[in-house]
Amino acid sequence: MMKSNISLSRRQMIGSLAALSATSGLSMPAWSKGKMSHSNHGAFKQGSEVLTGPMVHLNVGEGSFSTSGRVGHAIGLNGSIPGLLIRLQEGTKAKLMVHNMLKEDSSVHWHGLLLPFQFDGVPGLSFPGIKPGGQFTAKFDVRQSGTYWYHSHSGLQEQSGHYGPIIIDPEGKDPVEYDREHVILLSEFTPMHPHKIMKRLKVAEGYFNRQKTATFDDYDMSGEERLMWGRMRMMPTDIADVSAPAYTYMINGHSAADGLELPYEPGERIRLRFINGSAMTFFNIRIPGLPLTIVQADGQNVQPTEVDEFQIGIAETYDVIVTPKKSGAFALVAESMDRSGMAQATLTSQTGQRANFPELRDPPLLSMVDMGHGGMMEGGHDGHGGGGHSGHGAMDAKPMDHSKMDHSKMNHGAMEKPEPAAMDHDMRGMKMRDTSRLPDTVEVGPGIDMVAMNPQDRMGYPGLGLNNVPHRVLNYKMLRSLEMDHDRRPPDREMELHLTGNMERYMWSFDGKKYSSVKDNPIRFAYNERVRVKLVNDTMMAHPIHLHGVFFELVNGQGHHQPKKHTVIVQPGSTATFDVTTDEPGDWAFHCHLLYHMHAGMMQTVSVAFPEDVR
């Protein structure tokens, strides 16, 4: 049994490193004993220490990592995976120093932090990268608070363990009251080299999926439906590109088998800071028996919302308050979206007490809605949108689908007067790849295998497989910022960006152009523009899209309380829209945070011009 070693009582604030280490029952990491992990091939410690700002040293080194019987090469920080918790204070000057002990270039991106672009940590974009043996210092004013994280932006190092949490305490009184806090950093460990994973994704579609449809499977699908999917050369089980056959899911570097314990005292308000630091995994989070009060999303305070489960996309963070009244043990379940595995921790008032963990639920399936036929039919397979419990399902929130369908502007040739009933049973009239629907900013080619026919805004959708669960689930439309209006201006202009891909060839891009072919042609913004960006997902996968350097506001119907985020999930075959004020000048990365999608080309440069007086 192990106790969380990034758990802190607020009353005590930060204890000594030695004390924290002692509770973990593991040896001190190399760095804390004054021994640098230079070319350290020793084993990485699971879990991390706390290092408080303003001055922080991070040592990136390689070594081995093991959990649940899986052992492999890893990259860690200061001798552990995840890297140490960096704790900063709003209103101070931070000085974060990164030492690269690897034999290759490295970098650290401070995910969600507002800082001058040259310290953002993307090699080739914000700085030249850190050479082997080299060092880099990011110096900046801390002008925000909340839960964030950091990770490598070099190659596929993030998959190997190069990530860690950041907490910034607010300058004044924290609007979130809590007695105790735990960081819950979700990630995966794989003994397989990330380049090998990339190759397998490229050459063998569905390589990591052991939940495919088959003659003898348990999926509730008619033969006709199965044929339809086959005809389209698509798999309804394409939900996670990489899953449990390769991954061990972890909380704070601990697999389920490690029995991670998070202590609490009955009656305490416990703040759980969830960070999805995984490379490829959407997690569904729940603690059966405890309602979850969402108080922060992507480091930005939101009005408290009580749910029983929520989905967290890669790179997102959510702060949650739980208040267990009695002593006992609660199961903190982080189930992968494809339900091939889960990470676990026990929230316990008594050391050694283990909670009962639920079984993995049945894997969900994609539906016609995920193919961009959203407005064309009622619900879809698997009861998409039909779920009465969520109350915020995309389809529930869009009762105008039919009127839209008949709208002359939405006239789709052969689809002129569709009969929804017939549609459910005959998809022959549907074109999977009608490229005439794409604006001329999209380059049509082999990299696009699908065009969403009638993509709907699905920010009210709780995530795949959560639309029909018998309890309350979070969705983006429920997020309401604590403070009013970050920028009252209506958008000066609008742009549309298409998320494009080819599952079979494993090509991923924005507007049909891979980063390697766009090169020096960035998305440009003037200084301090107010822009509405509509992301149209022409693929059947959910993409967590991350914009560096600024926060954008989700256009989620909350008016003057649109929530600020740094990462937004765009549901399959659907749209998501945000407003952004481009007041952080410089070149910023903009990409899908599915690591292998980004590596395949789903990335762009966003250039925000400097204000006139600076130029």
Q: How far is the CB of 534 from another protein (least distance, A)?
A: 7
> Given the complex with another protein, which of 35 and 231 has the nearer CB atom?
231
> Given the complex with another protein, which of 486 and 534 has the nearer CB atom?
534
Tokens (6 digits) for 194: 């990330």
Ramachandran sector of residue 161 (left: φ over 0; alpha: ψ -120 to 50; beta: rest): left
Assess 38 for contact with another protein (CB under 8 A). no
Q: Name which of 13, 22, 16, 9 is nearest 265 in CA terms.
A: 9
By DSSP bridging, strand 180-189 and strand 7-9 are antiparallel
Q: How far is the CB of 206 from another protein (least distance, A)?
A: 9
Q: How far is the CB of 290 from another protein (least distance, A)?
A: 35
Of positions 129, 463, 465, 544, contacts another protein by CB under 8 A = 129
Per CB under 8 A, contacts with another protein among 95-114 are 105
> Given the complex with another protein, which of 10 and 505 has the nearer CB atom?
505
CB 41: neighbour CB atoms within 10 A? Answer: 10
Of positions 173, 409, 428, 488, contacts another protein by CB under 8 A = 409
Of positions 306, 416, 504, 560, contacts another protein by CB under 8 A = 504
Q: Name which of 192, 185, 193 is nearest 82 in CA terms.
A: 185
Per CB under 8 A, contacts with another protein among 131-190 are 155
Q: How far is the CB of 494 from another protein (least distance, A)?
A: 5
Q: Which stretch binds another protein (CB under 8 A): 65-73, 175-183, 282-290, 511-519?
A: 511-519
Q: Name which of 227, 159, 238 is nearest 205 in CA terms.
A: 238
> Given the complex with another protein, which of 177 and 610 has the nearer CB atom?
610
Per CB under 8 A, contacts with another protein among 581-610 are 585-587, 598-601, 603, 605, 607, 609-610
Assess 218 for contact with another protein (CB under 8 A). no
Tokens (6 digits) for 523: 């998305």
Per CB under 8 A, contacts with another protein among 308-327 are none
Residues 303/251, Cβ–Cβ less than 8 Å:
no
Per CB under 8 A, contacts with another protein among 456-475 are 457
Q: Name which of 473, 452, 292 is nearest 396 in CA terms.
A: 473
Of positions 495, 550, 557, 583, contacts another protein by CB under 8 A = 495
Of positions 28, 444, 482, 550, contacts another protein by CB under 8 A = 444
> Given the complex with another protein, which of 164 and 549 has the nearer CB atom?
549
Of positions 10, 70, 95, 202, contacts another protein by CB under 8 A = 202
Q: How many chain residues touch another protein (CB under 8 A)?
A: 92
Tokens (6 digits) for 531: 């822009």
Q: How many residues are present in the chain?
A: 615
Q: How far is the CB of 587 from another protein (least distance, A)?
A: 4
Residues 6+ apart with CB under 8 A from 64: 41, 42, 43, 44, 71, 72, 73, 74
Residues 254/479, Cβ–Cβ less than 8 Å:
no
Of positions 33, 41, 103, 212, contacts another protein by CB under 8 A = 212
Tokens (6 digits) for 553: 């506001």
Tokens (6 digits) for 323: 């208040």
Ranges assigned E (strand) in 353-447: none
Where does residue 436 rank: exposed (0-12), middle (13-18), buried (19+ CB within 10 A)?
exposed
d(CA 134, CA 111): 22
Of positions 219, 515, 552, 590, contacts another protein by CB under 8 A = 515
